Amino acid sequence: MSSRLIMGLILMASLGLAGAGCEWMTHCTHDPEGAIEGEIAEEGILEGIVEGEEEGQISEGLLDEGEADGIIEGETEGNPDLGCPGDCTYEVLHVYPHDPEAFTQGLVYENGSFYESTGLYGSSSLRKVDPESGSPYQMIYLSKAVFGEGLTIFGDKLIQLTWREKTGYVYDKNSFELLQEFHYNTEGWGITHDGGRLIVSDGSSTLYYWHPETFEVTGTLTVRYQGQAVRRLNELEYIHGIIYANVWETNRIAKIAPDTGEVAGWIYLDGLLPPDDQTGADVLNGIAYDAVGDRLFVTGKLWPKLFEIKLTPRW
């Protein structure tokens, strides 16, 4: 286990993380366009198509899936659109506790546990969390020099990104032993996979397909809604053939076709975190799916709650 990376391993403990003062939150205060919640943000996340950019959103290599085939079966069946094609709103089915000091950057669910990556320099972590208590029963801190970002489970491994450090980590899913460190050329924001390819966001309107073992870029995808590029794509979850992406600093999740990049609809999560819980809370971030129980979970950075929601049509 790398001592440089790992600051500590704590079992069965709910830790008092270092204070998450906003002076650390470079990531939460960066807002070059001044986008805010609501309709203004809707404009803020869309950008014009770059002149001369071809409409074909798939770069060469995306369709060359041969290398990645057969590693893990792709998940293509099940409750399509999570029961809600097009634009959706939500019903809360269950409320779980969430560590209000967890600056959630990556969230996945498997076999009764959440796996979570948190950010901020000095308190970034990887944790396996008990849903009922919200407490981590397995957790490591990252080096103070890195800012934890997206997280995905790929087979028996966990893959975690960092923000500006351009460094990713591969861990044994059960022991959290660091197996590999790798590097990439963009910022790291969100990560998920379609069974054969890793899918990565970097805060722009581009999603990257990576080979799951070499981490080489095998394709890119420009995400667009009604012809306009959608930027600030953040935490991701691939569910039944659709890429779900938080759009940073909004209450919305984009539903993205993985072959064209077209946004087929939006999930509007306005009002999800009750006003009494908003003190100290940051933005919506974190989508996880229980493939066995067909349950969808969402939370946010420094949110005291995590929600199981059901999607309903938004008329």
Q: Which is nearer to Ca ion, 116 or 187 (CB)?
A: 116
- Contact partners, residue 19, CB within 8 Å, separation at least 6: 101
Question: How far apart are CB 150 and Ca ion at their closest, in Å?
Answer: 7
Q: Give the residue carrying structure tokens 């407490």.
A: 135
Q: Which is nearer to Ca ion, 122 or 296 (CB)?
A: 296
**Token pair for residue 183?**
């590097």
CA of 43: how far to CAs of 87, 128, 205, 225, in Å? Answer: 17, 36, 14, 11
**Token pair for residue 54?**
């071809």
User: Using CB under 5 A, which residues numbered 55 to 74 contact Ca ion?
Assistant: none
Select from 62-70, 90-98, 100-108, 112-120 the region that touches Ca ion (CB under 5 A). Answer: 100-108
Question: How far apart are CB 308 and Ca ion at their closest, in Å?
Answer: 14
Q: Which is nearer to Ca ion, 122 or 245 (CB)?
A: 245
Question: How far apart are CB 279 and Ca ion at their closest, in Å?
Answer: 25
**Among 82, 207, 253, 287, contact with Ca ion (rule: CB under 5 A):** 287
Q: Which is nearer to Ca ion, 7 or 157 (CB)?
A: 157
User: Using CB under 5 A, which residues numbered 191 to 220 contact Ca ion?
Assistant: none
Lay out the site mask for Ca ion across 103-142 (x = CB under 5 A, - = otherwise): ----x-----------------------------------
Q: 3-state secondary structure string, the chain?
A: CCCCCCCCEEECCCCCCCCCCHHHCHHHHCCCCCCCCCHHHHHHCEECCCCCCCCCCECCCCCCCCCCCCCCCCCCCCCHHHHCCCCEEEEEEEEEECCCCCCEEEEEEECCEEEEEECCCCCCEEEEECCCCCCEEEEEECCCCCCEEEEEEECCEEEEEECCCCEEEEEECCCCCEEEEEECCCCCCCEEECCCCEEEECCCCEEEEECCCCCCEEEEEECEECCEEECCEEEEEEECCEEEEEECCCCEEEEECCCCCEEEEEEECCCCCCHHHCCCCCCEEEEEEECCCCEEEEEECCCCEEEEEEEEECC
**256 touches 275 (CB < 8 A):** no
Question: How far apart are CB 237 and Ca ion at their closest, in Å?
Answer: 4
User: Using CB under 5 A, which residues numbered 170 to 189 contact Ca ion?
Assistant: none
Select from 86-94, 112-120, 132-140, 280-288 the region that touches Ca ion (CB under 5 A). Answer: 280-288
Q: Which is nearer to Ca ion, 88 or 107 (CB)?
A: 107
Q: Which is nearer to Ca ion, 6 or 108 (CB)?
A: 108
Select from 99-107, 157-165, 179-187, 297-305 the region that touches Ca ion (CB under 5 A). Answer: 99-107
Select from 162-170, 260-268, 285-293, 304-312 the region that touches Ca ion (CB under 5 A). Answer: 285-293
Q: Which is nearer to Ca ion, 109 or 225 (CB)?
A: 109
Select from 15-23, 136-144, 224-232, 287-295 the region that touches Ca ion (CB under 5 A). Answer: 287-295
User: Using CB under 5 A, which residues numbered 225 to 244 contact Ca ion?
Assistant: 237
Q: Which is nearer to Ca ion, 99 or 237 (CB)?
A: 237
Question: How far apart are CB 288 and Ca ion at their closest, in Å?
Answer: 5
Give the footprint of Ca ion on this chain (CB under 5 A): 107, 237, 287
